[in-house]
Chain A
Amino acid sequence: MSENRAPDTVRTIDADGVGGVERTQLQMITRRFLRHRPAMISLGVLVVITLFAFVGPYLWTWDHTVHREIPPSVPPNADHPLGTTTAGNDVLGQLMRGAQQTLKVAFTVSILGTVVGSLWGATAGYYGGRVDSLMMRIVDVFMIVPLLVMVAAIAGSVRGGTTWWAVALIIAAFSWAQIARVVRGVVLSLREQEFVEAARAAGASPGWIIVRHLLPNAAGPIIVAATLLVAVAILLEAGMSFLSFGIQLPDISLGQMIGDARTAASTRPWLFYPPGVLLVVICLTINFIGDGLRDALDPRQTMERR
């Protein structure tokens, strides 16, 4: 039973908890998503970019660091298809590494934010009353803080260089609240349902009910929110890099590359456009995938995004 759990965790609110119905539900969702053309194309593009970022470095001659053999600041050519920097970095190598770090940050934020946010929101929604109101006040606190500035204020004084996971942790620490709020809303409406009552009557612990019954049923909104959080994290990281609070050199991220090459648009376009375009494309594909998922999971669901 537990092996089978993952694929059929997606239920909707109106599902009556009957296995057969779930199956059709899942198939319907899949079919709807597959038919969402922009989302499918985006998924394809995102997979290609991910391969580029994670597999590319193994195939390509140059990494992102400075090498004495690389001629400084040359435009794209056969040896360096995207040109080189003044110091002697291969821009293609940088782009792969940059995309990799950016995606690592973004997915880590999304996973951490979603796990923490879901558990938090579900716990609050399940218990209700005082617990709920205390937990949601804390969520409110995180919601009123402008993400970028909070993150910048903290990251500005992180000692001894900032690595990708530090950046991810900081962003995640301030972006789980949105998901907590979404999940709580769904759980509030679920907790009085019969299958929850039944589980409770059968003596299931609250933890079990939250993880086994409530969260799977809130999966739709959670997945959509988690997807969109990826794009939010990418843009936040870029903003931090611009204010020079992001990942520190010699490591590199797309945001860092964009920030560094901000003045190079007309003089050295090979530094300016590749990271910017790649970042926009990644965010764009994620938005379309999120859109497709939303349409597929719950055509009536209206997710509010930041």
Chain B
Amino acid sequence: MHERRKSLALAAAGASAMMVLTACSGSGGGPAEGEREVTWVINSLPAAWASTNGSGSVYTVQMLSGVIPHTGVWQPDGTYEYNMDVLAEEPQVINDDLDAGPFQYSFTLHEDAVWSDGTPMTGEDLRVTAMMSASPDEGYCTTCDSRGTTNADMIDTMEVDGKTITITLKEGLSDPEWMSQFDSTSASGGFYPSHLAEENGWDVDDPDELGEFFTWLHETRPEWSGGPWMIVDGDLENQVVKEPNPEWWGDPVQLDRIIMPFNTDEGTFVNAFNNGEIDGANPAQFSEDVIAELEGVPNATVTIGEGSTWEHIDINTENEWLSDVELRRAIFTAIDRDDIANRTYGQGFPDYELKNNHIFDSNSEYYVDHITPTGQGSGDTEAALEILEEAGYELDGDTLTLDGEQVGPFRLRSTDTVVRNNSVQLIQAHLAEIGIDTTIEMTDNLGEMLVGQDYDIVEFGWSGSPYFTSSPEQFWHSESSSNFGGYSNSEVDELTEMTGTAANRDEAAEYANQAMEILVEDAYVLPLLADPNYFFVNDRVAGIEDNLYSSLRATYNIGEWSLAE
């Protein structure tokens, strides 16, 4: 056990002055030649042992990689793959024609699929997971505070037949992204072993007792596993240690142990890597110098790609000046997105791509470039001034005026991160060129600022996944509490509602693109770019790559990691 530690201890003794004593130190434990161990950093503390409730984060999800079984995962190339270790067959939509009857779909689990205690996985596990993902109003569970209830709340009935579950949605509802119900993207990150509720004496059909099971899952280190790995040691502060799940029925894993230490400080990565203490990480923050330094390390592979968070500039349409769409268009036109991108990520990630579609990235089959044709974000000062002139604004020296009155000044706000801080300074410079004066005010309470509509122009980020159908309504619907800038357009309202309830993704994407078209015309939100994320790994590890389409990141295929020959 703990071979690497052992050799470290020996080495330490060897290097110390008391070399005489090393002879005695070998007796501590048998040498375990050639143990295959990988140390993979989790970039923050996972607040809980399960990810369904509000404290669930990508760090919990990554910590549980290879432990919690799921039905599918988005691949690094942006395609979706069902998890055919866990599923018997690709799940099916039984009915998506609402005129013929309610929306219905089913999952069937693999015949060999078992939990690590030997209990077979059944549709019951799926049913209980869905019950815990729903909001308390649904009546399944009194105290479950799931962080993602959208899909589960649509469910009317669930029928379990052995390994199969058939789910029927409430009347009139359809769920174009039904397949996400139990996949790695869902709030639970997969599904839970329901038989453990019974073992602990809880009746899952009693809403109070299901709540206790829910709490237990979040607070107890899982000794169970439904994936290739199981957690054998660890806590929520320092690290978890994973060893192979003896009951795993799929392809056997290629390593003996994976240690996942939690490290919150990017500043330590390079030293720890050079020192052989860590094999790699998929950090959440972009850190130019860390990347540059790692790229100089011979045995490190570093990759950078667009992550799931995208930066954008929003305008408060309820500001008396900014309620004028022409002024908003001019502002967006004067902002030079390429300049911003180049001066934030350009050095570390010269291949950055500007974001021209709020919802779909350029690899997506649904991608349409909404921004470029409009000239917004081009930094074309001339064009911006032209728009203003036509709308009756005048440039008086360095100051933009309307009917002799100065336009603005506007409060330009954001949170105090290096990237955003640079962006707002650049935006300030860009807008100065069309005579618009801005004052920069940073906040450390983004939520309060947004909800309070306490800004004129703001830059912040949304994070998304390839699942998109609920986003447009959340972002732009006039009734949505996340539509902070007071934007209201009945056509957009209608289109975003249709996106959420379309029969399938193709249809939903069609509506979403139509909504964006109008939105861009109205110059409400200017997307900048997706924040890039980096990943680094020691070349001694093989079969590992970053996956920016999944919150699992590099751990999405943890069962396939191995050591290079």
Contact = CB atoms under 8 A, between A and B. Distances in A.
A/B touching: CB–CB < 8 A: yes
Interface of A: 65-68, 72-73, 86-88, 159-161, 244, 248-250, 260-264, 266-268
Contacts of B416: 161, 244, 248-249
B342 to A, nearest CB: 7
Q: Name B's interface SS.
A: helix
Interface in B397-425: 416, 418, 421-422, 424-425
Contact of A66 (B267, B346, B425): B425
Interface in B341-358: 342-344, 346-347
A68 B340 CA distance: 10
15 contacts: A65-B425, A66-B425, A72-B342, A72-B346, A87-B344, A87-B422, A87-B426, A88-B343, A160-B441, A160-B443, A161-B442, A250-B442, A263-B270, A267-B288, A267-B293
Interface of B: 266-267, 270, 287-290, 292-293, 296, 339, 342-344, 346-347, 416, 418, 421-422, 424-426, 429-430, 440-445
Given A65-B425, A161-B442, A249-B416, A87 B266 contact: no
Contact of B267 (A161, A249, A263): A263
Nearest to B268: A263
> Which 7 pairs show the lowest CB-CB distances between chains A and B?
A87-B422, A66-B425, A249-B421, A263-B289, A267-B292, A264-B289, A161-B442
B422 A66 contact: yes
B443 A86 contact: no
A198 to B, nearest CB: 56
Nearest to B417: A249
Q: Name A's interface SS.
A: loop
Contacts of A73: 288, 347
Contacts of A72: 342-343, 346-347
Contacts of A268: 289, 292
Contacts of B292: 267-268
A267 B416 CA distance: 24
A248 B440 CA distance: 11
Contacts of B344: 86-87
Contacts of A160: 441, 443
Contacts of A250: 421, 424-425, 440, 442
B343 A263 contact: no
A261 B293 CA distance: 13
The winner among A72, A86, A161, A248 for most chain B CB atoms within 10 A is A86
Given A248-B416, A249-B416, A87 B289 contact: no
Given A68-B426, A266-B293, A260 B267 contact: no
B411 to A, nearest CB: 11
Contacts of B418: 87, 249, 260
B271 to A, nearest CB: 10
A214 to B, nearest CB: 43
Contacts of B442: 161, 248-250
A68 B288 contact: no
Contacts of A266: 293
